[in-house]
Amino acid sequence: MTVQKWEYLEVTRVMRTGVAGAANGQSTATGTGNNPEWFTYIAQLGDQGWELVAVTDNYSYIFKRPK
């Protein structure tokens, strides 16, 4: 029997501006220095196979997908 392995991604949302601020501690800013709009960013994560599994009190969102 093979056990499913997962990879995880923590994304921090900047609440006052409504953009994604960091993913796994790295800035999500584009080459133009702008951070992506929140709903656009999480839609892209869904397209990449990421599933939201938890939300913390400090505006961090935890996603997982099969490894």
Residue range 59-67: mean pLDDT, rounded: 91
Q: Quick one: pLDDT band at residue 63, thresholds 50, 70, 90? A: very high
Is 1 domain-assigned?
no
pLDDT number for residue 35: 62
Q: Which domain holds residue 44?
A: 6-66
Question: Reduced to 3 states, what is the DSSP secondary structure of residue 51?
Answer: strand
pLDDT digits (tens, 9 = 90+) for 13-53: 766 666 667 777 676 665 555 667 778 888 989 999 999 99
What per-residue confidence (pLDDT) applies to 29? Answer: 64
Q: Count up the domains in the chain and report the number.
A: 1
- Is the residue at 13 inside a domain? yes
Is residue 11 one of the residues assigned to a domain? yes
Residue closest to 10 by CA, chosen among 40, 2, 20 = 20
In a domain, 15, yes or no: yes
Model confidence at 59: pLDDT above 90: no
